[in-house]
Each structure stands twice: as C-alpha cells, then as structure tokens.
A and B are shown apart, each in its own frame.
Chain A
Amino acid sequence: MIADFEYFAPKTVKEALSLLSQYKEAKIIAGGQSLLVVLKQRLFSPEYLIDIKGISALDYINYEEGKGLRIGALTPHRTIEKSPVIQKYFPVLSEMENNIATIQTRNWGTIGGNICHGDPAGDPAPVFIALKAKLKLASLGGERVIDMQEFSKDYLEVALDPGEMLSEIQIPKPAPHTGTAHDKLMVMKGDMGIIGAAVSIVLDSKGKCEDARIVLSNAASVPLRAGKAEKKLIGKVLNDALLAEAGELASAEADPPADVHGSAEYRREMVKVFVRRAAAKALERARAA
C-alpha cells in the first residue's frame, strides 16, 4: 500500500516549477508507470506528489531541418512510436518504443518519466545517447541544457537538481550516412531488456566508419557507453569480424547485474550478441542512407 501524500495537479510548467520550489521534498509524478511501483513497494514515501501529466504544453513532437527533433517530456511512449515524423526521420525511436512494455503502459507512460526514473535497464536512454541527445531542464531560476549522457548518475539516480524538472529532449539532425539501431534481449515482447544495445554508425563518403556510438542498457548502474568497442570501429571499413570484435570489447567493458532473469556471465555473453546485431543493422542503415 502507498503511504498518504498531499497531491497537486498543476496545469502549466510555471505552476509546476513554483510548487517544486515550494515543496523541496515533493516528487513529480507523470504517467506513474514506474513511480507507482516504487511507491507501492515503499522504497520511498514522498509527502507531496506533483502530478504533471495534465501539462499539455509538454506533450509535443517537433521536427525542423535546422534544429532537429524536439520531444516534450510529457509525450507518451505510444505517441512517439506512432509519430509519422519519427518514423520518417528516426525510425529507431519508433522501433525501440514498440518494444517497451504493453500498449497500456505506452499509452500512459511518458518519455520524460522513463528517462527521469533513471533505470539502467530502460531503453530510451541508450538510444538517445547514441543519437547525441540533449536534455532541457527547467527550474524557477531558468533553464539549462545538458547531454543525455551526463544525466544518468547511478541506479535510479539522475542529475536533476532540487526544484528542477525535465521539459524537453533535443536530438540533433544526424550527419549524412548515419545509421542507428536498437535491439534487446527479451523473453517476451515488451520485457525490459535482459541486455540491450543501441548503436549508431556514421560513414564517411568513402564508406569508412567516421564515428560510432555503442550504448548498453542493463549492463552497468547507468546506460553504458562502450568506448573501447567504439574506437575499434572508428576509422575502419566495417565488416562482420570487426562488429563481432566490438561486441567482445563491449562485453569486457560491461559490469552487468545478476538477477532472476540472468547471471552476470550470461549477460556479458549477450552483450556480444546484441552489440553485433545492433551494429550490423546500424551499418546496413548507414550504407543505405
């Protein structure tokens, strides 16, 4: 059972921010898909809940050639999955969303809630990092923009200051010949990945790998960039053997947990498979782009 709390339902960002500055101990609730679980488990019992789900101004998807993609923090997973703009310019996001939970959860859970929950098993964060996303954080004092990669601090811990909330995710327009892909190990469709990998590959005009990002979920206490694996690919003409080597390197970099779904050793083996699989798909896309 959830402990008692006081409940606020601001309708604007400004209202939300002033409530946040007034009640330092308050917790934000968006779709509640993750928060309600931890509240029921009494992992913590906030005295105040600020329900931001009604702030419709933060539910949007905008794409402009120059600026790239902007997603409001309160955009539901399902909206991203089904968005024609996203399917056209960032198909990887739609695919990733399609594998999150069930339709019910995707209809109500928000992209901002997912990221702010800070679960290292979450799927969007690695994909956003692979896409070089930035986050816009708002407080009464103003706004700041940080790299998605800097946001995750530890297991269920993110770089939100007291009084601050996430308002927007910003994804730059990818360089030409970029391919991005995501894949994860599921026993059943919609599972949190036992291991997940997001890979982005940029090819130069000669087909050499100019840049690569390899980001893992559920392989450490935060979304993990496999730097050594990335370096292995950069500057080379890629082939299956190199992708497999990248998988091996990423596996060595991973420090995965052990739980009811798999041992750490198994997860390390799976890092090899999923880095290779996601990289192969990313490469294919980069070549086609």
Chain B
Amino acid sequence: MAETKSEVFGNFSILGKAIPRVDARAKVTGEAKYAADYEFADMLWGQIKRSPYPHARILNIDTSKAERLPGVKAVTTGKDFGGFKWGWSGPTRDEEPLAVEKVRYLYEGVAAVAAVDEDTANEACDLIEVEYEPLPGVFDVLEAMKPGAPLVHENRPGNICVEYHWNFGDVDKAFAESYLVREDTFQTPRMAKGYLEPPAVVSYWPDSNHVVYIGAKGSPYFPYRLLSRCFNLPLSNVRIITPIIGSDFGGTKNDMTPADYSAVMLAKKTGRPVKIVTSQYDVLTTDLRRHPMWLTVKTGVTKDGILKATYLKAVADGGAYTRMSPLTMMLTGCLTTLPYKLPNYKYDCYNYFTNNPSSAAMRGHGLYHSRFAADVQLDMIAEELGLDPVEIRMKNAIENPEPGKVYTAVNDVHVATCGVQECIEKVAEAVNWKARKGKKKVEGSKAYGMGFAAATYNSGTKLSAHNACAAIIRVCEDGSVNYLTGATDVGQGSDTIMCAIAAEVLGIGLEDIDLKRVDTAFTPVDPGSYGSRVTVLAGQAARNAALDVKQQLLEVAAQQFGVKPEDVEIKNKQVFVKSNPTRNMSWERLVRTACYDTPGKVIIGRGYSTQGISLLGLADFSKGVGDIGTNYSFTAEANEVEVDTETGVVKCTDNSVIAHDCGFPLNTQAVESQVQGGAYHQGIAAAIYEEFKMDSGQTLNANLIDYKRPRAYEAPMTQVIHVLTNDPYGPFGAKEASEGSCCSAPPAIVNAIYNATGVWIKDLPTQPEKVFWALKAKKEEKKGRKKK
C-alpha cells in the first residue's frame, strides 16, 4: 500500500505543514462540551410528539391529559407559533415549526412537551391525543409526477418543488456533428449524513425580551435570523451559543428541526431552560437526507473522444419540504462544465415533493450526482472508442490557466487555477496505470479491477444575500490573543486554520491564540459552514483581521524604533527593524508598550472577506450562469476493487490514490485527513454501502446495523497527493479541500467494477444483489451468444 508522504509547502512559520488541531486535547480528554452536555439549574426536558402518518390532515390535538400529568410544565403545538413559516429563502417558506394543518412526512412533529425529566416528557407525549384524517401519499417521484397525484402542498401543482431549464451553446447541432452519442440513466440513493452526535439544543430566556439558544448548529446564524423572526425579537436580543459540534456533512445542522423551535417556545412558556436531545432513531427517520436522483446523461464526442455536448436531465425526490432543494438542483447542474472542457451544455431538472422526509445538502452537494453519472459515462465512451480512461480524461481536462488568465466555461463559470491534469497524471503514475492496462487479475471467485475518475468542487460558495465572513482579534495586554469568529468548526478543522492564519500573520505561535466559538452576542455575523466556504472566506477574514492588528502594533513599534511601520517585522514573537534585526524587542514587550503607554491603546483588529461578494458577480439560479464558488478545487482518483463474482460483494482494496488540488494546503494534515476520512471514506460509503430503504414513507433500515456504514476495514487508508496551484482568490492560495474528492470515489468504484467484471452498475450503491444479477445476466447473454 502506498502511503501519504508528509511534506512541507511554502516558506511559512506555521502554514503549509502538519498543524496539530487546537481542539484535539479537549476532544480526546472529554473536556469538549457538546450541546447535549449543557446542564442548567431548574432545567426541563423536552420531547417531540410525532405523527404516525406520512400524510394526514390534523383534525384536532388534545393536550389536556398531558398537561395534567404531574411533572409536565408546558405543552406546545404548532398554533402557538402564530402562523410562522420558514424555509431556505423567502419564496420557499413552506414549513412550520410543528405541523398545524397537515403532516407531510412520517414522524413529523405535531406537539412538544417540557417536563421535569425525560421519562415524564415521553409519557406526556403518549398522552397527547391527535385526531388525524389519513391522506393518500406520494412516495416516489414517479407517483409524484403523475397527473392527479395527491398534492403534498396544495399550492404546488404537479408536486413540483424546483425546476430549471438551462441551455448553453447548441447541443442539438453538436450531437448531430458528433461521432458517437451515448445516453445512459444513472441513479443515486437517499443517504444519511452520518453525524454521530444527534442534534441537541438547550434554550432559556434570561428575561422576557432575550433568548439564549445553545445548539448543535454548523451555521449558527441561521437560527439567529430564524428565531428573531419567529419570536419577533430584534437580532440584538437573540443569542446563539455554539458548543463543540460532532460533525455535520450538510443539512440538519445547518437548518432547523422541530426540536429547535420547540425548545425555545417551551423555555419561553415555562421561564426555565429546556433541553431536547434527538435520538439516533429520530435522526435516522426524520433528519434531512441526501436526495435520491435519477440522472439521464446524453453525451456526444468526436472520434478522438473530445467532448462536444452534454444534455443532463436530473429528477430528484425532494421530500416533504423545499429546504435546500433549489441549491441542490443548481449545484447538480452548474458544474457539469468542469473539470472537462464542454462547449455545449443543456440541463433540465425536476425536483418533486413527496411524503418522504425532506432531502437536503450533503457533502459533495449536487455535484456528487452529476459527476458520478458523467464520469462513469466517460469510461463507457472511452470503451466504445477504444480509448484509455486516463487518456480520454487528459484530452478533455481543462488546462491550468496561465497566471493572470481565467478559464471561462460555457455557462460563465470562471476558473483561475485548475490542477486537474496534474492530478490525473500524478494518480496514474502512483498506481502505475500503464503497467496495469489490460491486465485483469482473477483469483478463484475474486476479480480485481481499477477505476479512474476526476472531479471538481466549488469553494467559498456564494449564495444570494449575505456572503461575507468576519473576524475580530483582541490582543490582551500580556501578549495573548483572542480570536472571535463567526465561523463554525463542525469537525473539519477550521478553528485550527483560523488560529494558524492569525498566528502566521502576527508572527506569533499557535498556542498564543485562544479562539472564541460563535456567540452571537459578541462574535461577528457569518453565513455558516456549508459549501466548502469556511477556509476560503473566513480564512480571508482571519488574514485581514490579523493584518489590521499587525498594522496597529507596527505603528507602535515604529515609534519605539524611530523608523516607519513598513520597516518593522514580527517573526517568532520577535519584533525587529528589517534592516537591522539587532534592534528588536519581544512581542510581549511591544504589546505591553502599546497598551500601557499613556494614554494606552486597546488593540482590536477586524477583518472580513471580500472575495465572496463582488469579484465575479453572483450565480443566477434560473439561468445557471455565473460563479457559485469563489474558486474551484480539482481531484483525480484511482480505486482498486475486489469483486466476489459468485456473490456480488464488492470490496475496496488498499490500493487507491487521490490527488487533490486544494490550491495550497494550509494544514497538510487536515487536508489529508479530510480527503481520507471525509472524502474517500464517505465516497466509498456512497458507492458501495449506504442507502435508506423506504416503504411508503417509512425508513426500513433506521439503525446503524441495517444501514450499512463502512468502517476503516471497508475503506482502508487512501494515499493522498497534494497538487498545488496557488489560487489568487483564496487566502495564501487555498481552495476547498475534499468535497471534490468526495465526488470522485463513486465513479471510480463503478469504473473499477467494470474493469474487474465487465458489468456496469448504474445505480448506487453497488450492493451485492445488484452486482450479482448483473453478472448473472452477463453470463447468460454470453451463453446466448455462443449458442447462436
């Protein structure tokens, strides 16, 4: 097995090498406090009463018995929220904190209880009597799209949640001119996000006009805004405190749950802190899942395998509420024009409401679906044309633009740096691709094959409305530093990067910086942890805030030395005159001088990101043009699989390599572990193992035994190769790490299965039974041909 080499990049004191995580000690010792760990005197336990029907009208809710149960302090229903509805954006506000008139998915919240303990709260939920009129439901897109199908939302005809129709260039002409045109349909399943920490919340009202909310949220400024609107409070009176988060991967921890609103409402009603911890079962039956999608890709190529045009049609099951579906469908379509040159492109997509739990963002959001379809189809095309998979990718891959130049895709996506060719070359070399060619390894019932894929992802995602990240740096008089961020580390390591950037700029040590996690009473506003945006945008804020502090201190130093500020530098906590380093003082001395010299300064620096906002303009969702990202990462991946040809069981071997162009790896260790754990591993999970199986809105495998989540045995360590492109639009050249590489594993695996066995598995995951029947059909086809 190839191993990841530890390397040092650039000429920095802290960045460009393996940086230990600032939160590691607290997490390992158990000191780290997650939302569920918060306890307050007088605290009550909340519980959600859930609907036993996936689609039903609520006729009546009788809470009187529950209210009479000793120990119950308050009960709330949707009516208490006064008609408040919320959603991802203004026009898509279609969800209530607790359902009022209708439930639209199984176990949707209809009421909530606060009681002195968990048992009493559970018992009280059982005592709430809800009268329902069950309604016929729609449980897959084929049912949802049928004329006359039951409507999930009465005001949304045809159950259409989102549709976009984009057209760039002239695909029909390009298809007509193509040497080969292929059309294939692929399928991706609903998946769990996979956080082990179930969402938890504690809320209390210090007085009737202020609310405090402590919850497992990766984007705490979502509840900040939503609770302000819901409870009619100015933003200044909404205090969201962010504990340590036990991972997210998109979706539920960005967004709100019935438990979030209910805890706040119950706390308001009782005047006491209320805590609600969601069970793993509730997570697996009601939390947001990755969209199941059906993707039909039609692609035309020249005789040499040069891409002429792609027409992608995506159909998705959006579930009960809109949530982030408009963004999902945008992301599924808008970057099909990367990482290969594609002169003509058309995209039609339809996202339907169903009576399933809502679908939403998940790591590799959107691109995961379309890149899987397109990169498998590319191998099919290569096979038909007699081209090698690496060769066809190299031919079509976007070249790295010359410094100062920009590659513009047909839908106006702008790429300043693109390392995909280098990624492909390095991976091919690392796995010895050429030598493998044509060699098929079979040992008994085991067939081995290797597959290749490439991918991209947008970093520093920019949506409509607020996009900037900000930071405040306070220098304490002893030289220690507080870093106040609006950004949230959900496990990806961003707290470490923020501290590292600030320390690098200030010329001090990582240990000198103490990071304050989000507390909206004190920290600056931030959009949130989604769309691979934190390192790129909050990282720029960190840099700007540190530069602001540094300038203030350099001015003080310049006065002391009798030189100009630009003549002074700070490194390794030494402040010195550049031209004569013997004239120096310590960092502590400089800070003390600044703070104590009459009248004394208060050193506070601030900075915010500018790159996300105005550089190339915002993307237009309805037309599919423009930049959803600040910049774009690239990946190539090769995976070897072992297929048991008698059973259909597919396994990864430890022979796999991922080359990743994240611009510049600020923390090599974080990039590698993200690519291994958060991309390779999750990619393997999506390719081979994970799928929620459903029956009429009911999740059949809502436990971690029947829902197959691979462990380290199933997804051994992959080798990571860093490819550096130093993007001008990221802090210190950085782009996102590992959402792109999350998208390359599924096509690489499916291509590898084909390489091993000669069968294409077009719907994920490649569970044994599917592979088995495909192999059997192929065998029979062969026999049939021999007979003729």
Interface residues in B754-788 (C-beta closer than 8 Å to A):
767-769, 772-773, 776
CA distance A260 to B768 in the complex (A): 12
Would A260 and B772 count as touching, CB distance under 8 A? no
Would B769 and A263 count as touching, CB distance under 8 A? yes
Q: Does A189 sit within 8 A of B, measured CB to CB?
A: yes
Supposing A260-B701, A266-B772, A273-B647 touch, asked if A187 and B122 sit within 8 A by C-beta, the answer is no
CB distance from B700 to the nearest CB of A (A): 5
Interface residues in B74-94 (C-beta closer than 8 Å to A):
none
Would B711 and A260 count as touching, CB distance under 8 A? no
Would A185 and B706 count as touching, CB distance under 8 A? no
Provide the residues of chain B in CB contact with A185, threshold 8 Å. Answer: 647, 649, 768
CB distance from A140 to the nearest CB of B (A): 35
Provide the residues of chain A in CB contact with B646, threshold 8 Å. Answer: 273
Q: Does B728 sit within 8 A of A, measured CB to CB?
A: no
Provide the residues of chain A in CB contact with B122, threshold 8 Å. Answer: 1
Task: Give the residue of A261, A263, A270 whose beta carbon is less than 8 angstroms from that of B706.
Answer: A261
Supposing A187-B708, A188-B708 touch, asked if A262 and B647 sit within 8 A by C-beta, the answer is no
Would A189 and B713 count as touching, CB distance under 8 A? yes
Would B689 and A187 count as touching, CB distance under 8 A? yes
Q: Does A47 sit within 8 A of B, measured CB to CB?
A: no
Task: Give the residue of B705, B710, B713, B769 whose beta carbon is less than 8 angstroms from that of A262.
Answer: B769
Would B713 and A269 count as touching, CB distance under 8 A? no
Q: Name which residue of chain B comes closest to A276, CB basis.
A: B646
Provide the residues of chain B in CB contact with A194, threshold 8 Å. Answer: 768
Provide the residues of chain B in CB contact with A262, threshold 8 Å. Answer: 768-769
CB distance from A53 to the nearest CB of B (A): 22
CA distance A260 to B122 in the complex (A): 30
Would A266 and B769 count as touching, CB distance under 8 A? yes
Would A260 and B710 count as touching, CB distance under 8 A? no
Interface residues in A246-266 (C-beta closer than 8 Å to B):
259-263, 266
Q: Does B143 sit within 8 A of A, measured CB to CB?
A: no
Chain B 683-706: CB-based contact to A (< 8 A → 1; otherwise 0): 000000100010000001100011
Size band of the interface chain B makes with A: 20 to 34
Task: Give the residue of A187, A192, A259 whose beta carbon is less than 8 angstroms from that of B768.
Answer: A187
Supposing A187-B689, A188-B714 touch, asked if A269 and B772 sit within 8 A by C-beta, the answer is yes
CA distance A186 to B713 in the complex (A): 13
Q: Name which residue of chain B comes closest to A272, CB basis.
A: B646
Provide the residues of chain A in CB contact with B700, threshold 8 Å. Answer: 259-260
CA distance A284 to B773 in the complex (A): 30
CA distance A263 to B700 in the complex (A): 14
Chain A 265-289: CB-based contact to B (< 8 A → 1; otherwise 0): 0100110010000000000000000
Q: Name which residue of chain B comes closest to A1, CB basis.
A: B122
CA distance A132 to B642 in the complex (A): 36
Supposing A260-B693, A260-B700, A270-B647 touch, asked if A188 and B768 sit within 8 A by C-beta, the answer is no
CA distance A192 to B706 in the complex (A): 10
Provide the residues of chain A in CB contact with B119, threshold 8 Å. Answer: 1
Would B647 and A188 count as touching, CB distance under 8 A? no
Q: Name which residue of chain B comes closest to A4, CB basis.
A: B119
Supposing A260-B706, A270-B647, A273-B646 touch, asked if A188 and B713 sit within 8 A by C-beta, the answer is yes
Provide the residues of chain A in CB contact with B772, threshold 8 Å. Answer: 266, 269
CB distance from A158 to the nearest CB of B (A): 22
Provide the residues of chain B in CB contact with A186, threshold 8 Å. Answer: 649
CA distance A262 to B700 in the complex (A): 13
Q: Name which residue of chain A comes closest to B767, CB basis.
A: A187
Provide the residues of chain B in CB contact with A188, threshold 8 Å. Answer: 689, 708, 710-711, 713-714
CB distance from B749 to the nearest CB of A (A): 14
CA distance A260 to B706 in the complex (A): 8
Chain A 167-201: CB-based contact to B (< 8 A → 1; otherwise 0): 00000000000000000011111001010000000
CB distance from A20 to the nearest CB of B (A): 28
CB distance from A8 to the nearest CB of B (A): 21
The 10 closest A-B CB pairs, nearest first, are: A260-B693, A266-B769, A260-B701, A273-B646, A262-B769, A260-B700, A188-B714, A260-B706, A187-B708, A1-B122
Which residues in A have some Cβ–Cβ distance to B below 8 Å?
Answer: 1, 185-189, 192, 194, 259-263, 266, 269-270, 273
Which residues in B have some Cβ–Cβ distance to A below 8 Å?
Answer: 118-119, 122, 646-647, 649, 689, 693, 700-701, 705-706, 708, 710-711, 713-714, 767-769, 772-773, 776
* 8 intermolecular pairs with C-beta atoms under 8 Å apart: A187-B649, A187-B689, A188-B689, A192-B705, A262-B769, A266-B772, A269-B772, A273-B647
New A-B pairs, 15, CB < 8 Å, besides A186-B649, A192-B705, A260-B693: A1-B119, A1-B122, A185-B647, A185-B768, A187-B708, A188-B710, A188-B713, A189-B713, A262-B768, A263-B769, A266-B768, A266-B769, A266-B773, A270-B647, A273-B646
